[in-house]
């Protein structure tokens, strides 16, 4: 039965750690509820793009991030309320383990987020080669913080009917928490894996089949009749009125979105639109040149997996260089930074890139940066005033193999994190800023207005705005 609009019900899906099966349950449940005719809004705790992408595909609508570290609480809760309202269900997928945060107290953990949202937790537990011990683990989670409402348990990677019976009885006997599902051990991963974890759905030809299999798995292995009563109406912050345009004339901002560049928070794109931007989608592998735009946004992604196609599109790379020389504002993050470099070496072969910055990149076998970052803007930064501090995050395997520049010419000092080189981040060329750090518009409210303002400045320099109302 559909809920009364405006009052969604939901829960947080958490695990004991990474790889517990949260995404299998989260994506599968969202896909199943959608197939049943419900409107479902997915949320992903933390800065993750890839899991959020799969949740978005399952829901048929954007998945929004909730990150208590990157965002202030009021902004985060307002975003949740705005996007959750007028739907049937909200499903929040946690990250890492239920109580894992940035310190021993679990600050910014999934458990803390569940309490802020007023939502119960559905705990997914990997039962590989264990039985009664699962009950001890669940009981520990229950008693560690009585304010966290662990309403149900899903047993994952169950080996047999006998295995399920023992674990189910133990969990319910010692914890009093109902087991609402048991998923059998799968012979292969539904989600394709590679160096950064799960492969983005945009690069996986079998994504639709994977969604179908996930929905069928949840339908067969998890009792919706038991799950739905566990759901609750979340705490809904007052919905903020958005004024729309944050000031100034309308501008056209290009966004490169293709198999190589996929990492865009929907909130970032929405923030640009609310600043009066018309977003123009661009495919860097097929477009011959940049369209008529006033600024360019290149997000993160995996340029290394499409290096040959990117390298072969010589005219498009030249177009970016030419427009940057004319003063086109460009904001590039991580994969976008790499793309603006000179070349990347993969398995001994060099692939030419845009060549705006004389940087030679390589891809390493281990992460070169992974975690939250804090940056302070330096003089000469085209998008941020000197001294402004922003929060972001890094996750990359790429490495700067050669760069003839000076670290003191970069746009940020790293107060936390790795950055580009020598404790700094942010390559600058005229109105171009390219950095390893990803930012979120809710946590960095200066970002969208700054990019829109630069776009207007560039449009005005070409006389484009004079004829507009």
Spatial contact of 290 and 313, defined as CB atoms under 8 Å apart: no
* Domain termination site, one of 200, 230, 260: 230
Task: Identify whether 260 is part of a domain.
Answer: yes
Q: What is the pLDDT of residue 3?
A: 56
Task: Identify whether 408 is part of a domain.
Answer: yes
Q: Is the pLDDT of residue 53 over 50?
A: yes
Q: Is the pLDDT of residue 467 over 50?
A: no
Contacts of 139 (CB under 8 A, 6+ apart): 174, 175
**Residue the block writes with tokens 């990359």:** 396
The per-residue pLDDT for range 129-176, each reduced to its tens digit, is 999 999 999 999 999 999 999 999 999 999 999 999 999 999 999 999
Task: Identify whether 429 is part of a domain.
Answer: yes
Same domain? For 181 and 289 the reply is no
| Number of domains comprising the chain | 2
Q: How many alpha carbons lie under 13 Å from residue 306 in its C-beta half-sphere? A: 23
Task: Identify whether 255 is part of a domain.
Answer: yes
Q: Burial of 346 by CB count in 10 Å (0-12 exposed, 13-18 middle, 19+ buried)?
A: middle
Instruction: Give the E-state strand segments of 98-231 in sequence order.
Output: 121-126, 150-158, 179-184, 193-194, 197-198
> How far apart are alpha carbons 315 and 254 in whole angstroms?
17
E strand or H helix that includes residue 353: none
Same domain? For 209 and 352 the reply is no
Q: How would you classify residue 38: left for phi > 0, otherwise alpha for psi between -120 and 50, otherwise beta?
A: beta
The per-residue pLDDT for range 108-125, each reduced to its tens digit, is 999 999 999 999 999 999
The per-residue pLDDT for range 354-406, each reduced to its tens digit, is 999 999 999 999 999 999 999 999 999 999 999 999 999 999 999 999 999 99
Q: At 452, which CATH number?
A: 3.40.50.880
List the domain range (segments joined by +) for residue 141. Answer: 9-230
Q: What is the pLDDT of residue 182?
A: 98
Q: What is the pLDDT of residue 98?
A: 99
Catalytic residue among 63, 127, 275, 334: 334
Closest CA to 260 of 193, 310, 297: 310
Q: At 144, which CATH number?
A: 3.40.50.300
* Domain termination site, one of 230, 260, 283: 230
Spatial contact of 398 and 304, defined as CB atoms under 8 Å apart: yes
Average pLDDT over residues 315-328: 99
Q: Are strands 179-184 and 193-194 parallel, antiparallel or unpaired?
A: unpaired
Q: What is the pLDDT of residue 469?
A: 40
Same domain? For 366 and 326 the reply is yes
Same domain? For 280 and 212 the reply is no
**Residue the block writes with tokens 């051990």:** 185
Q: How many alpha carbons lie under 13 Å from residue 445 in its C-beta half-sphere? A: 7
Same domain? For 122 and 159 the reply is yes
Q: Is the pLDDT of residue 315 over 80?
A: yes
The per-residue pLDDT for range 429-456, each reduced to its tens digit, is 999 999 999 999 999 999 999 999 999 9
Whether 334 is catalytic: yes
Same domain? For 222 and 292 the reply is no
Task: Identify whether 404 is part of a domain.
Answer: yes
The per-residue pLDDT for range 219-262, each reduced to its tens digit, is 999 999 999 999 999 999 876 655 445 667 899 999 999 999 99
Task: Identify whether 239 is part of a domain.
Answer: no
pTM equals: 0.93
Task: Identify whether 2 is part of a domain.
Answer: no
Q: Is the pLDDT of residue 36 over 80?
A: yes
Same domain? For 207 and 353 the reply is no
Place 188 in a pLDDT band, splitting at 50, 70 and 90: confident
Same domain? For 196 and 334 the reply is no
Spatial contact of 228 and 152, defined as CB atoms under 8 Å apart: no
Spatial contact of 23 and 12, defined as CB atoms under 8 Å apart: no
Same domain? For 54 and 196 the reply is yes
Sign of the dihedral defined by the CA atoms of residues 362, 260, 447, 58, in that order: negative
* Domain termination site, one of 230, 265, 285: 230
Q: What is the pLDDT of residue 241?
A: 59
> How far apart are alpha carbons 19 and 25 in whole angstroms?
12
What is the chain's mean pLDDT, rounded? 94
Same domain? For 306 and 353 the reply is yes
Same domain? For 226 and 255 the reply is no
Task: Identify whether 51 is part of a domain.
Answer: yes
The per-residue pLDDT for range 189-230, each reduced to its tens digit, is 777 765 556 788 887 778 899 999 999 999 999 999 999 999
Same domain? For 14 and 89 the reply is yes
Give bridge partners of residue 42 from the DSSP assignment: 91
Q: Is the pLDDT of residue 428 over 80?
A: yes
């Amino acid at each position: 039965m559909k809920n009364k609009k405006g009052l969604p019900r939901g829960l947080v899906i958490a695990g004991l750690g990474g790889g517990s099966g949260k995404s299998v349950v989260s994506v599968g449940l969202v896909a199943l509820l959608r197939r049943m005719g419900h409107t479902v809004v997915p949320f992903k705790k933390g800065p993750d793009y890839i899991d959020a992408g799969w949740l978005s595909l399952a829901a048929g609508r954007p998945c929004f991030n909730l990150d208590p570290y990157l965002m202030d609480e009021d902004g985060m809760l307002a975003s949740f309320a705005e996007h959750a309202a007028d739907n049937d269900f909200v499903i929040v997928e946690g990250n890492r383990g239920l109580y894992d945060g940035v310190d021993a107290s679990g600050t910014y953990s999934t458990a803390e987020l569940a309490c802020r949202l007023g939502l119960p937790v559905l705990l997914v537990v990997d039962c590989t080669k264990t039985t009664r011990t699962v009950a001890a683990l669940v009981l520990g989670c229950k008693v560690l913080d009585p304010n966290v409402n662990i309403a149900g348990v899903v047993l994952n990677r169950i080996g047999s009917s006998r295995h399920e019976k023992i674990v189910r009885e133990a969990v319910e006997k010692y914890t009093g928490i109902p087991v609402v599902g048991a998923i059998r051990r799968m012979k292969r991963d539904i989600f394709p894996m590679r160096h950064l974890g799960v492969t983005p759905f945009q690069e996986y030809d079998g994504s639709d089949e994977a969604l179908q299999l996930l929905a069928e798995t949840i339908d067969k292995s998890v009792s919706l009749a038991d799950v739905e009563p566990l759901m609750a109406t979340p705490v809904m912050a007052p919905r903020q009125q958005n004024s729309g345009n944050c000031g100034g004339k309308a501008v056209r901002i290009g966004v490169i979105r293709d198999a190589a560049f996929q990492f865009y928070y929907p909130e970032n794109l929405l923030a640009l639109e609310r600043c009066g931007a018309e977003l123009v989608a661009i495919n860097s592998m097929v477009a011959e040149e940049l369209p008529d735009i006033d600024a360019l946004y290149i997000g993160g992604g995996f340029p290394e997996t499409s290096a040959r196609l990117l390298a072969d599109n010589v005219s498009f790379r030249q177009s970016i260089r030419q427009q940057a020389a004319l003063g086109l504002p460009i904001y590039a993050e991580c994969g976008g930074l790499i793309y603006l470099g000179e070349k990347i070496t993969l398995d001994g072969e060099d692939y030419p890139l845009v060549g705006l910055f004389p940087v030679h990149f390589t891809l390493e076998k281990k992460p070169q940066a992974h975690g939250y970052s804090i940056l302070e803007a330096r003089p000469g930064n085209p998008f941020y005033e000197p001294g402004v501090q922003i929060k972001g995050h890094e996750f990359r395997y790429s490495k700067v193999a050669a760069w003839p520049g000076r670290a003191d010419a970069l746009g940020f000092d790293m107060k936390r994190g790795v950055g580009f080189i020598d404790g700094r981040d942010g390559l600058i060329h005229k109105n171009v800023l390219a950095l390893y750090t990803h930012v979120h518009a809710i946590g960095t409210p200066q970002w969208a207005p700054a990019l829109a303002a630069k776009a207007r400045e560039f449009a005005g320099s070409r006389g484009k705005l004079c004829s507009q109302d």
